[in-house]
Amino acid sequence: MLAKTTVAVLGATGSIGRATLDVLESLGGPWRAVGLSAHSRLPELVELSQRFSPDWVVAACPESAGRFDFTSLPAGVKRLIGPEGLIALAELPEVDTVVAAVVGSAGLASSLAAARQGKRLALANKEALVVAGSLLTHALKRSGGELLPVDSEHSAIFQALQAGRSREVARVVLTASGGPFRTWTAGQIAKATVDDALAHPTWQMGRKITIDSATMMNKALEVIEARWLFDLPAEKIQVVVHPQSIIHSMVEFVDGSVVAQLSPPDMRLPIQYALTYPDRIPCPCPKMDWTGAMSWDLEPVDIERFPALSLGWEVAERGGSCGAVVNAANEAAVELFLQGEIKFPEIVAGCRRVLEH
Ligand code: NDP
Ligand code: MG
């Protein structure tokens, strides 16, 4: 198979977007970022354009673009404004791979556009699958496009699945760091502040997914993501808490053999694998140090303290529009929490109420 080396990075100014650009830089020629998108961090978009010389940039927020002076954008870089620009970038004929790293359902239309055009879709934007897993997977089937997971757990499962056949899978086990409140009591969690919730112990990520990790809604979204990525029923998807974030996830086969993927936590590894698959290429990420003693913990999940988790299995089982409903409620609730409008437990309680309604 020929390497797919021309890449559009949607959400280039974010945590996954920047990590993708680091990977492209380390891969070197012929790998290239053909297009970059930002929403409101336009000075950063210009800076990235100076460094990576894309052919296209997209400023997805028209209001921010209207206020911004683009004169320091390198000459010859073409500019698109507004959410339609994201779709146009994803559809460019010269783009082989679309890295979907926009946060939230705002990333759905461009992910779907890439899927319909038969691209390789390297998907970080899990919300797209949660909202429209059926649409997205059907579009890929029709177009012959590929869906490569960037989410570390799903990349681990994707890698472990190569040890057997899909009919031989007994279940997949997603690991969860447990977030900043893993050891907190329900009473303490009820009083958690925005700063408490943003202090993730193992991963540096954007604000929305960091709050999702604190509520463990992130793991619920990942259960739904796994349902669509691997075409598995909800009862074959399990979650276990693993605070060190070294074991990224596991697949248990029908004979009882469990295959896991491990590495120090660094998103550049799953991003690179999604770009270079089926090849493995040396990566700038830190490697495991097997010379010292170490121990890893595995704990059962606690649904009493983290009720978001039950929404994951429920939505994965019910399907239909449940994913879109819970995701929309969660995006709105996280925003309200970050603005200080609601208390931490209200995020998940609100999602539950909206789903019931
Ligand atoms: P960030 O908040 O760091 O970055 C989000 C990116 O999306 C930015 O480029 C931002 O632009 C852009 N963006 C925000 N809103 C819009 C919008 N309405 N329209 C178009 N673009 C928009 O998020 P992360 O990088 O942390 O996460 C991105 C996705 O990857 C999420 O779906 C997350 O769940 C998933 N993911 C992230 C992981 C991580 O380690 N960070 C791990 C696994 C999955 P700007 O900054 O210019 O406003
Ligand atoms: Mg993850």
pLDDT in tens, 233-262: 999 999 999 999 999 999 999 999 999 999
Q: Write the residue with the smallest CA distance to atom 18 of ligand 1.
A: 106
Return the pLDDT at 1.
63
Q: Write the residue with the smallest CA distance to atom 42 of ligand 1.
A: 151
Express each pLDDT in 12-71 by its tens digit.
Answer: 999 999 999 999 999 999 999 999 999 999 999 999 999 999 999 999 999 999 999 999
Express each pLDDT in 209-227 by its tens digit.
Answer: 999 999 999 999 999 999 9
Burial of 330 (0-12, 13-18, 19+ CB in 10 A): buried
| 176 has pLDDT over 90 | yes
Cβ atoms within 10 Å, residue 235: 10
Q: What percent of the chain is modeled with pLDDT above 70?
A: 100
Return the pLDDT at 109.
98
Return the pLDDT at 298.
98
Sheet of 32-38: strand order equals 78-81, 56-59, 32-38, 6-10, 97-100, 120-123, 146-149
Q: Indicate the pairing of strand 146-149 with strand 169-176.
A: unpaired
| 317 has pLDDT over 70 | yes
Q: Which residues line the pocket of ligand 1, CB cutoff 6 A?
A: 11-17, 38-41, 60, 101-103, 106, 124-127, 151, 203, 205-206, 209, 267
225 alpha carbon – ligand 2 mean position (Å):
10
Return the pLDDT at 3.
85
What is the phi/psi pair of residue 294, to 5°?
Answer: -155, 160
Q: Write the residue with the smallest CA distance to atom 26 of ligand 1.
A: 206
Q: Write the residue with the smallest CA distance to atom 24 of ligand 1.
A: 206
Angle formed by the axes of helices 322-338 and 217-229, nearest 10°: 150
- The structure tokens listed for 281 are 């290429």
What secondary structure does DSSP assign to 186-221, as a single string? HHHHHT--HHHHH--SS----HHHHHHHHHTHHHHH
Q: How far is CA 235 from CA 29, 165, 304, 355, in A?
A: 44, 19, 19, 20
Residue 232 CB contacts under 8 Å (≥ 6 apart), including other chains: 169, 172, 226
Cβ atoms within 10 Å, residue 332: 15
The answer to whether 175 touches 248, Cβ cutoff 8 Å, is: yes
Tell me the Cα Rg of the chain: 20
- In a mutational test of the pocket of ligand 1, which residue from 48, 80, 207, 209 has the highest number of ligand atoms less than 8 Å from its CB? 209
Closest by Cα among 235, 290, 234 to 262? 290
Express each pLDDT in 84-129 by its tens digit.
Answer: 999 999 999 999 999 999 999 999 999 999 999 999 999 999 999 9
Atom of ligand 1 nearest to the CA of 61: 19
- The structure tokens listed for 344 are 């931490």
| 204 has pLDDT over 90 | no
Closest by Cα among 4, 207, 190 to 94? 4
150 alpha carbon – ligand 2 mean position (Å):
8
The answer to whether 270 touches 155, Cβ cutoff 8 Å, is: yes
How much is the pTM?
A: 0.98
Instruction: Taking residues 141-164, report their average pLDDT.
Output: 98
Return the pLDDT at 322.
98
74 alpha carbon – ligand 2 mean position (Å):
35
Closest by Cα among 142, 139, 136 to 123? 136
Name residue 304's beta-bridge partners. none
Q: What percent of the chain is modeled with pLDDT above 90?
A: 98
Q: How far is CA 136 from CA 4, 52, 80, 120, 146, in A?
A: 21, 30, 24, 13, 11
Return the pLDDT at 43.
98
Distance CA 300, CA 181 (A): 15
Tokens 């404004």 correspond to 81
> What is the number of the ligand closest to the CA of 122?
1
65 alpha carbon – ligand 2 mean position (Å):
31
Residue 311 CB contacts under 8 Å (≥ 6 apart), including other chains: 217, 220, 326, 348, 351, 352, 355
111 alpha carbon – ligand 1 mean position (Å):
13
- Cα-Cα-Cα-Cα torsion 230, 326, 247, 297, nearest 10 degrees, comes to -140
| 2 has pLDDT over 80 | no
pLDDT category, 202, cuts 50, 70, 90? confident
Tokens 């496009």 correspond to 145
